[in-house]
Structure 1
Amino acid sequence: MRVVFFTPYYKQNRGNSTTAKRLEHGLSDKVEFSFFPYEELSLNFTLLERMVKADLYHILHFSRFVQWAEKNEIKLDKPYIVTSGGTDLNHSLTEDEERYLPLLREAKAITVFTQEAKQMLVKDYGLTDQSVHVIPQSIYLPNDHTIEAFTLPEGYPKLLLPAGIRPVKDVLFALESLIRLSNDFLELRFLIVGANLNEEEFERVKEAENKYEWLYYLPEVELGQMKKLYEWGDVVLNTSISEGQPTALLEAMSFRKPVIARENPGNASIIQHGMNGLLFQSQEELYHSIKNVISDQETYKQLSDHGYQTIIENHTIKKEIDSYLKLYKEK
C-alpha cells in the first residue's frame, strides 16, 4: 500500500512533527510511506507524482492542510484519512466551520486522540459515530548519539516545561507560583524548552529569564535529545490553555516523572487527578501541587508509578500503529 502523509511540520520539533516521526517509525516498514511537510516545503513534482501513485492520503492537522490546499489548488482524488489534534478542533473548526467541515465530511475516517474530541465531532458537527475513531498517542523518542550542545542547570527541584512559545501554551502562567516556591526552595530551577513560534510571547519569556536567576529558556532540541531533559527534570509541567493530547506529558510519564498540568480536556484525557498526575486551575493550586509533590516522597512515587502504568496500559506504540494499520486496510 502506498500512503502519502501530509504533515504541517517535520523538521521543526513541535507536536505535529513528533506525531509524524512516530508514525513514520511505526508504519514505514509496513506500508510505502511518503512524507510531505506542507508548511516547510514548496509544492513540487515529486509530491504530485507520489499522489498519482498513492492508494491513500493521510492528513495531519486539517485546518492548516485546508489553507495550504486552497492556496495551491490541491484536489484530493484518492481516499483519505484525517488525524486531528487540539488546535484545529478547539479553535479553527469553531471559528470557521464552513471552511473546514467539508474536508472532514468527505474523509474515509477521522482519527482523534480522545473520546471528548470524538463526541465533539459527532454531537456538535454531525459526523457519524462510525467515521470518527479514537487512537490515543504513544511514545517514540529515537536514540540520538550525537553530542548534545546544551548544558542543564543543577538544583532542586528541577521543573521542566516543554512547549512551543505561543499564546495558547501560556508558558509563563506558572511564574507567580514559582516566585513563591523559589522562596521555599532556594535551589529551584525552572526550564522552558521549545521553539519561538510567537515573537511577543518569546520576548516575555526572555524578559523573565533575565529577571529571575532560576528561570532558564532553551530553544527547541532534536526529538532524540529530549531523553536528556526528562532525565534531568524532577517534575514536568503543562500550562496550556487548550490541548489535544500532549505527548510531552506522556513522554514524562514514560520516564516515571510526576506531571502537573492545567485542567483542560486534552490534559484530563491523560491525567486522573491524584492518581497518575495532578491537574490545576489556578496559580494557587499550582503552587500547592508542586510543593506537595516535591515535599512528599510517597506522593512523588505514587504519581510516578501510576503515570508509568498509564503508558504501559494505554499508550504503547504497538497499539497505536496497529490501529492505524487497521484503518488503512479498511479503506
Structure 2
Amino acid sequence: MSSTVLLLSPLRQASGNHSTIKRIRSHLESEFIICKEWDPADFDDEEQFLRKLRENNIDFVIALHAYKAGKYLSTKVPIPYILIFGGTDINQLHTDEDKLCKMSRAVEGARNIVAFSQEMMDKALQIWPDLVKSRASIIKQGIQTRPSALSLREVLVKHGHVSSAVITGATIFLFVGSIRPVKDPLYLINTMTEWHKERTDILYVIIGPEYGEDYFAVFNGAIHGAKGVIYLGEMSIENAHACMRDSSSLVNTSESEGMAAVVLEAMDLGTPVIARRNGGNEALIQHGVTGFLFSSPEEFKEIAESFSEDAVMQRKITIAAKEQIRREHLPEIEKNAYYKVMNGLKH
C-alpha cells in the first residue's frame, strides 16, 4: 500500500518555496508516493492543523521553512516529519524570540532536518548546537529549467517600454524575485537609472509578485518615472525562465539567501549571474569563475560594465556555471537523496 505524504509549505505562485516543493512532489510521485500540498497560511493554529492531519490519514510530512511551516510542528505531531530550512528562517527569523521558540519546537520534533548547503547547516548548528548531526542531511536543490516561447525583447517592445531601434542591442539586467524587503529589489534602482541616462541601451527589468501591500507601495513609488527600469509583474515559472534566457545577466540583490533557485536556473540557462554578497550566494558562486559577487551598487556597475564588454569572459563564466549545475544540482541526485531520507522515516 502506497504512503501518503503531506508537503507543508508556503505555496505562493512564482516563489522559490513553491517551485522547490513542486519539484519534490514530482520526485516522490515518480516513485508512486501519494502527495498532498497544504499551505500553512490556511491554518489558524496547531490544533486545527493536527485535526486535519488526522482526518486525512497522512503517513509522513515534509515541511519547508522552519517558521512558516514549522510553527505547526512539534513533538505533539503523531507522525514522522522532515523539516527543510528555507533561508529566511535561519538567516533572519531566529533573532525573534517568539519565532525562535516555535522553530526550536519544530527542530526538536523532526525525524530528519534538511539544509540546501553546508553553509545553511552550519548556521543551523550555531542556532541549535544540540541538533543531532546523524539526523541532518544536506540536499542541494535540483534544477530543471523549462523556458516558454515568450520573447522578453518582444514583450518590452510590444508594451511600449523600449523602441524597436534600441532593443536589438540593449543590455538587459534582470531581477527575478518576490517584491519584498529581504530581496531588496530597490537596491540598484538609482545606479541603473543613472547608468541608463549615460546609455539608453542599458535596461533593468524586474519580474516578481507583490508580497506585501506596504512595501509594494514603496516599491512602486521608487520606480515610478525611473528611466530604464521596467517592472513586468508576476510571471509563470516558464515565462520567467524565458526572460532569464533572453537577458544579458541575472541580478540578485538579496540581503540574505538560503539557496537561490533563480541563480541556479540562470546558470542552467547559460545566463551570467551578478549577485550581491551574502552567505547563500557566496556558497553558490565562485567570483570570477561561475559568476560575480558585489558588495555595493558601485561595485556592481564596475563589474557589469567590464563584464558586458568581454565576450570571452562571458562564455567562460557560463560554461563553468553550467558544469557546476550538471555536477551538483541534477534533479536525479536530489530525487535519490529525498527518497533515501523518506525511506529512513519508515524505520
TM-score with structure 1 setting the length:
0.90
Shift of 1:232: 1.8
Per the alignment, residue 86 of structure 2 pairs with: 85
Per the alignment, residue 5 of structure 1 pairs with: 7
Per the alignment, residue 160 of structure 2 pairs with: none
Deviation sequence 1:2-50 (CA, Å, 0-9, x none): 21111121x5211111111111222212122221123257869995456
- Match of residue 298, structure 2, among 284, 291, 300: 284
CA contact (8 A) 1:4 1:50 kept: no
Alpha-carbon distance in structure 2 between the residues aligned to 1:62 and 1:122: 14
Report the residue type matching 2:109 in the other structure. E
Deviation sequence 1:40-96 (CA, Å, 0-9, x none): 5786999545642x32111111201244x38xx995110110011111111222323
**Does the alignment pair 1:39 with 2:41?**
yes
Per the alignment, residue 102 of structure 1 pairs with: 105
Alpha-carbon distance in structure 2 between the residues aligned to 1:32 and 1:295: 51
CA contact (8 A) 2:5 2:61 kept: yes
Per the alignment, residue 56 of structure 1 pairs with: 60
CA contact (8 A) 1:141 1:226 kept: no
Per the alignment, residue 17 of structure 2 pairs with: 16
CA contact (8 A) 1:166 1:197 kept: yes
**Does the alignment pair 1:113 with 2:116?**
yes
Relative to structure 1, the CA distance from residue 26 to residue 165 in structure 2 (aligned partners, 3 Å threshold; closer, same or farther) is: same
Per the alignment, residue 161 of structure 2 pairs with: none
**Does the alignment pair 1:176 with 2:213?**
no
Deviation sequence 1:201-230 (CA, Å, 0-9, x none): 323332343322311112111112222211
Report the residue type matching 1:27 in the other structure. L
Instruction: Please give the residue correspondences for 1:98-177 in structure 2 after superposition, counting only pairs within 5 Å.
Output: 98-126=101-129, 127-142=131-146, 151-153=155-157, 154=167, 156-177=170-191
Give the CA RMSD over aligned residues.
2.6
CA contact (8 A) 1:208 1:215 kept: no
CA contact (8 A) 1:167 1:198 kept: no
Deviation sequence 1:134-157 (CA, Å, 0-9, x none): 111122345668999x92353511
Per the alignment, residue 188 of structure 1 pairs with: 202
Partner-residue secondary structure (3-state), 1:130: helix
Shift of 1:114: 1.1
Shift of 1:129: 1.6
Per the alignment, residue 240 of structure 2 pairs with: 226
Partner-residue secondary structure (3-state), 2:122: helix
Extract structure 1 runs of 4+ deviating beyond 3 A: 40-51, 140-148
Deviation sequence 1:285-304 (CA, Å, 0-9, x none): 11111111111111111111
**Does the alignment pair 1:296 with 2:310?**
yes
Alpha-carbon distance in structure 2 between the residues aligned to 1:222 and 1:232: 15
Alpha-carbon distance in structure 2 between the residues aligned to 1:306 and 1:163: 24
**Does the alignment pair 1:258 with 2:261?**
no
The gaps in structure 1 that reach 5 residues or longer are: none
Alpha-carbon distance in structure 2 between the residues aligned to 1:293 and 1:48: 52
Shift of 1:316: 0.8
Shift of 1:194: 0.6
Partner-residue secondary structure (3-state), 2:254: coil
Alpha-carbon distance in structure 1 between the residues aligned to 2:262 and 2:177: 8
Alpha-carbon distance in structure 1 between the residues aligned to 2:80 and 2:194: 54
Alpha-carbon distance in structure 1 between the residues aligned to 2:7 and 2:125: 25
Per the alignment, residue 28 of structure 1 pairs with: 29
Partner-residue secondary structure (3-state), 1:63: coil
Alpha-carbon distance in structure 1 between the residues aligned to 2:75 and 2:120: 27
**Does the alignment pair 1:322 with 2:339?**
no
Alpha-carbon distance in structure 2 between the residues aligned to 1:76 and 1:45: 7
Instruction: Please give the residue correspondences for 1:197-276 in structure 2 after superposition, counting only pairs within 5 Å.
Output: 197-276=211-290
The gaps in structure 2 that reach 5 residues or longer are: 158-166
CA contact (8 A) 1:4 1:51 kept: no
